Chains A and B, each alone.
Chain A
Amino acid sequence: MTRAFRWMTWLALSAAATLAHADDVERGKYLATAGDCAACHTARRGEPYAGGRIVPTPFGAIPAPNLTPDTETGIGAWSADDFYRAMHSGEGHDGRSLYPAFPFTSYTKVTRADTDAIFAYLKSLPAVRRAAIPDSLRWPYRMRSLMTAWRTLYFDEGEYKTDPARSAAWNRGAYLVQGLGHCNECHARRNSFGAMVTDPFLAGGIVPVQNWYAPDLSMGTHGGLAGWTETDVVALLKTGRSSKGVAVGPMAEVVLRSTQHLTDADLAAMATYLKSLPDRDPPPQRESAANARELAMNGQKVYTDRCAGCHAADGRGKGDAYPALDGNGSVTEPTGINAIRTVLSGGFSPATAGNPRPYSMPPFSQTLSDDDAAAVVTYIRQAWSNKAPSVSPNDVRAYRSTPGG
């Protein structure tokens, strides 16, 4: 009898453990999606999470490693402690510091329970044998010992701390945005040592090497998302478009792979958090070029001929199909990169479950000269309520050969 009872207890406990494990795996899959881990850890034609995508940095190319449970080439020999150390402290299996192309600077905020769930999910994947490609960092950056000094200067280790003065939704949003979402890794300037600027937080910056401008995410006065509502933010993250603008460039990929798969509650939480970002200082006025007025006048002609049919003469766009350009932060961002590249490359907004057949814009790289493209971009940056500096034909030339990036 005692033996039978022991057996039954054991069965019940192991069944509960299996269920808990299955639950962890499912939760880990969701969290890995929120962290967009596959974006780097999956090569273009490779097996999911088997690594191999080359992450370009200004210091050289760093291939993302294999996260499948293969013992020799993946994380088969890792423990949950090892995985937590990588996420939390940015240290590899061998104890050496990882390079911050892996955003441990953000992932350090992730809780132990969540890294354990992600680890359980990764361990549940089929093991793929795919050896690491050596990085091609330039000297002196390839000396890993330099990371010790870098970490002292730029790495604040520590899990996210709940702010009891804020709502649960706000805290959830802050946790996702600051941690797994690693939004600030792109939406901030980087200093010359490749460290992201964290104060002000999420204030926008050029994405290194890819050369897109990740806009300021404040919805307050002078913010990059001034005039946006939380509904607009959720719409963009869920469907790739909103009444205020569409996701282009690297953000289109983030929406496709990551944010469209998040729950409405999590997206709303992220919007709640972003809504609380502070107002920004007025942008420092970069002077327009001396011939900006003439450029804009030429640009108005180009706009009337080529753009007004969809974006309307008043720059207010057309419904869900074509975004407004008046008051559009991607048009008025400080550099002009996004408007130039969108004029040159056109393209579709991402095809998501919420917008499966997106409208698109023609690429004008073959039909507009550098002068005409600079003119029309200058025009849309200064027409209606927009007041951004002009761009030059040289700026256009710089981005001619870098679609996608």
Chain B
Amino acid sequence: MRRLLRRLAAAAAVLCAGSLWGAEAPPVPDTLVQRIAACTSCHGEHGEGGNNGFNPRLAGKPAGYLHRQMQDFQRGLRHYEIMEYTVAPLTDAYMREIAEYFAAQDVPYTRHPIPATTPAAMARGEQLVTQGDAARGVPACMACHGPNLTGVQPDIPGLVGLPYDYISAQLGSWRTDTRSTVAPDCMATVVSRLSDADISAVSAWLAQRPVPADAHAEPPGSVKPPLRCGVLGG
């Protein structure tokens, strides 16, 4: 009994010393999330997205898509200065690990405000998203991004829960050649067939749409894209 007490006392002393030492210099956690403060400070610790229209949610987006975006920033196919600067010194393996971290996060979506939009524009947005515009060669968003617009593993991102500003900025950036990807860049083709009003309409309709109860990306191979896309292997 006495031996047990002595042992307990010794253990307690070691623990106290440990925590005292810890109070002086808590060791830096050897975790990925600690390492990627440059990412999480804008996109959120779980990739939930910034509280603004421009730092998009990353959580739950397919890993292949997220990895590709970092590669595109690194190669100068997609332009946004702070992102290009941030990924410039990273290896492909590290970018893949970071992509997988955010892809695996599962956190609730936040709602973003949407600008006032006329019913006619909303109707046009809904038409483009759900049916496309065959006369202009525009496929429905759903044809690739899935019937619930939650994306398809491993390369097609979901379009739910994104702010109006982010969606319209991305569509606009294909138009201004500040966002592209490996050829054939099918999104560039689609956007080239949209008018400015179409971009506003489709962005507003997507942004107002409630996030479905199950917002996970569809399994691989569950859509048959109507266009050839480099990111899907051409």
Instruction: Report A's interface with B, CB cutoff 8 A.
Output: 44-45, 240, 252-253, 256, 310, 312, 318-319, 321-322, 345-351, 356-363, 365-367, 401, 403-404
Contacts and interface: CB of A to CB of B under 8 A. Distances in A.
Contacts of A366: 42
B85 A347 contact: yes
A211 to B, nearest CB: 13
B88 A351 contact: no
B56 to A, nearest CB: 14
A363 B91 contact: no
A310 B35 CA distance: 11
Which 5 pairs of residues, A with B, have the shortest CB-CB distance? A362-B41, A360-B38, A404-B85, A350-B89, A403-B85
Contacts of A361: 37-38
A347 B86 contact: yes
Contact of A318 (B28, B76, B85, B97): B28
Contacts of B77: 45
B39 interface: yes
Nearest to A367: B41
Given A346-B41, A347-B38, A348-B89, A357 B32 contact: yes
A319 B30 CA distance: 12
A357 B28 CA distance: 14
The secondary structure that dominates the B interface is helix
Given A366-B42, A403-B82, A360 B37 contact: yes
Given A346-B37, A357-B32, A360-B86, 4 more contacts: A312-B25, A321-B28, A348-B89, A404-B84
B134 to A, nearest CB: 35
B28 A403 contact: no
Nearest to A346: B38
Contacts of A362: 37-38, 40-42
Interface string B180-223: 00000000000000000000000000000000000000000000
Contacts of A253: 88-89
A338 to B, nearest CB: 14
A366 B82 CA distance: 10
Contacts of B39: 360
Contacts of B40: 362
Given A348-B90, A362-B38, A322 B85 contact: no
11 contacts: A256-B89, A310-B28, A318-B28, A348-B86, A349-B89, A351-B90, A351-B91, A357-B35, A363-B38, A403-B85, A404-B85
Nearest to B29: A321
B28 A351 contact: no
Interface residues of B, number: 28
Given A253-B88, A351-B94, A358 B35 contact: yes
Given A44-B76, A403-B82, A322 B28 contact: yes
Contacts of A345: 82, 85-86
A401 B80 CA distance: 11
Contact of A359 (B25, B37, B75, B85): B37
Nearest to A362: B41
B69 to A, nearest CB: 16
Given A347-B38, A357-B32, A362-B41, A44 B85 contact: no
Contacts of B90: 348, 351
B10 interface: no
Contacts of B93: 356
A362 B85 CA distance: 12
Contacts of A349: 89
B110 interface: no
Interface in B29-54: 32, 34-42
Contacts of B25: 312, 318
B97 A357 contact: yes
Contacts of B36: 360
A319 B26 CA distance: 11
B70 to A, nearest CB: 12
B167 to A, nearest CB: 20
Contact of B28 (A44, A252, A359, A401): A359
The interface centre, meaning the residue of A322, A356, A363 with most chain B CB atoms within 10 A of its CB, is A363
Contacts of A346: 37-38, 41, 86
Contacts of B38: 346-348, 360-363
A357 B85 CA distance: 17
A51 B40 CA distance: 36
B75 A365 contact: no
B46 to A, nearest CB: 16
